[in-house]
Structure 1
Amino acid sequence: MTNFNAIKGFIFDLDGVIADTSVYHAQAWHQLADELGVTWTAELADNLKGVSRMDSLELILKAGNLTDAYTPAEKEAYATKKNTNYLALLKNMDASAILPGIQAFLDDLVAHNYQLALASASKNSPLVLEQLGLAGYFSERVDPTKLKRGKPDPEIFTRGAELLNLPPAACIGVEDAKAGVEAINAAGELSIGIGDPTILGAAAINFNDTSELTLANIEQALN
């Protein structure tokens, strides 16, 4: 196990770790499903979590038996419309959407001179950070448009360590998704999984929710 004193940097996923933007994604997809005449269900909403925009659209169309009803160009237009809806909803987001304990944890990391980077696959992450008032904490952000492979490939977390000029072994990655934890591990960084330990069992350290994410708890877990 990594020595706590060897850790110099933290690399964060965004959704489900810093803030819960999934509620806004769900609202935007719900709006589109209504427009397409597809019945919105809790099961459908759950199936869309962590899935790419085009794949999410295909799942909605499949639920309404509409898989072959639209051309690729029409599908692209609907996916774009969903993102426009999502961005409009995001403008209502503020610091109240920051997950429990995260603001205090970020302040503690800065006070102890840890380096911070953001490793989010979302192209909308700069807007989200601005809305939350957290942009100043993350001067280093991996640009998802320049990545060749998505999680569980380690590329995004490897790039995060490079941005911080740190070896992977000196970094902790924080994730709430199984694929994200796998990506951190494959990058050779120490993984913290936020959420159900039966799903995130590959994480080196597991916390049930963000309120448990403190330097003291991390040090205790490593010792």
Structure 2
Amino acid sequence: MSKYEGVIFDLDGVITDTARYHYLAWKRLADELNIYFDEKINERLKGVSRLESLEIILERSNKKYSQEEKEYYANKKNEYYKEFIKNITPKDLLPGALEFIEELRKRGIKTAIASVSKNAFTIIENLGIGDKFDYIVDTNNIKKGKPDPEIFLNASYNIGVSPQKCIGIEDSAVGIIAIKRAGMFAVGVGNPETVKEADLILKDLTEYKKNFRITLIIKE
């Protein structure tokens, strides 16, 4: 029997790359507010909730915004984002993602999505992979964002696997922290510097086939 019985995935940057759509939506909003925003600032938004992301953008503004105004602009960004993600199809799955998920399911390993995106269900439906997961976290039920471990613990509970028997996969620094705080094995994908605190780092999910350690982990 495998040592690990559950794998919990972040969505953006792990299974599909909607980061560019987030960037374009935030850039459009920032331009409307006459606030400087670039890709370097955008890196700070990865794995962070929408309102927290807005707070980071507003750091460069001299104007004070009420909570009501912040919620209005956060929702406005989301409307821009939803326009962009209408174009997502199964072709937008990142290399190795579908094959890895199907390999896990063949081995009887439970799978879940733990994304802070309130559009996760729409994205997964557009990608055509809704039937590949035992559970998708509903962010409406999550009170604390990453790096708090709540979202990963919620996924673990709902797939019926203890955190110690789960692997979490993330591409953001705050996501890796959240996984480790949940007591799970942390796999980082993407920029090695961003996910340097992970227990194992992969370029992308194609590496599960040639990386002896991840193959060993899911076979244990």
TM-score scaled to structure 2, two decimals? 0.87
Secondary structure, counterpart of 2:2 in structure 1: helix
> 1:80 aligned to 75, 85, 102, which one?
75
C-alpha root-mean-square deviation of aligned residues, in Å? 2.4
Percent of residue pairs bearing the same amino acid type: 40
Contact 1:28 1:83 (C-alpha < 8 Å) held by counterparts? yes
* Larger Rg computed on CA atoms: 1
Give the deviation of 1:20 after TM superposition. 1.0
Runs of 4+ in 1 over 4 A off after TM superposition: 220-223
The answer to whether the aligner puts 1:219 opposite 2:220 as a matched pair is: no
Contact 1:102 1:213 (C-alpha < 8 Å) held by counterparts? no
Judging changes above 3 Å, is the alpha-carbon distance between structure 1 residues 45 and 199 closer, same or farther for their aligned structure 2 residues? closer
Extract unaligned runs of 5+ from structure 2: none
Judging changes above 3 Å, is the alpha-carbon distance between structure 1 residues 169 and 95 closer, same or farther for their aligned structure 2 residues? same
Aligned length: 218
Give the deviation of 1:210 after TM superposition. 2.5
CA distance in 2: counterparts of 1:59 and 1:157, whole angstroms: 24
Judging changes above 3 Å, is the alpha-carbon distance between structure 1 residues 48 and 168 closer, same or farther for their aligned structure 2 residues? closer
Secondary structure, counterpart of 1:10 in structure 2: strand
2:39 alignment counterpart: 42
Secondary structure, counterpart of 2:88 in structure 1: coil
Judging changes above 3 Å, is the alpha-carbon distance between structure 1 residues 211 and 153 closer, same or farther for their aligned structure 2 residues? same
2:8 alignment counterpart: 11
Judging changes above 3 Å, is the alpha-carbon distance between structure 1 residues 170 and 215 closer, same or farther for their aligned structure 2 residues? farther
2:174 alignment counterpart: 179
2:85 alignment counterpart: 90
Mapping for residues 1-223 of structure 1, pairs under 5 Å: 5-63=2-60, 65-68=61-64, 70-214=65-209, 217=212, 218-220=214-216
Contact 1:118 1:141 (C-alpha < 8 Å) held by counterparts? yes
Q: Which residue identity does 1:159 align to in structure 2?
A: N
Contact 2:208 2:215 (C-alpha < 8 Å) held by counterparts? no
CA distance in 1: counterparts of 2:69 and 2:6, whole angstroms: 44
CA distance in 1: counterparts of 2:183 and 2:41, whole angstroms: 35
**CA displacement, residues 152-185 of structure 1 (integer Å, 9 cap, x when unaligned):** 2222222222111122222111111122222222
Give the deviation of 1:13 after TM superposition. 0.9
**CA displacement, residues 82-135 of structure 1 (integer Å, 9 cap, x when unaligned):** 111111111011112211110111121222221111111212110110111111
Give the deviation of 1:220 after TM superposition. 4.2
Secondary structure, counterpart of 1:11 in structure 2: strand
Extract unaligned runs of 5+ from structure 1: none
Contact 2:48 2:116 (C-alpha < 8 Å) held by counterparts? no
Give the deviation of 1:140 after TM superposition. 0.8
Give the deviation of 1:221 after TM superposition. 6.7
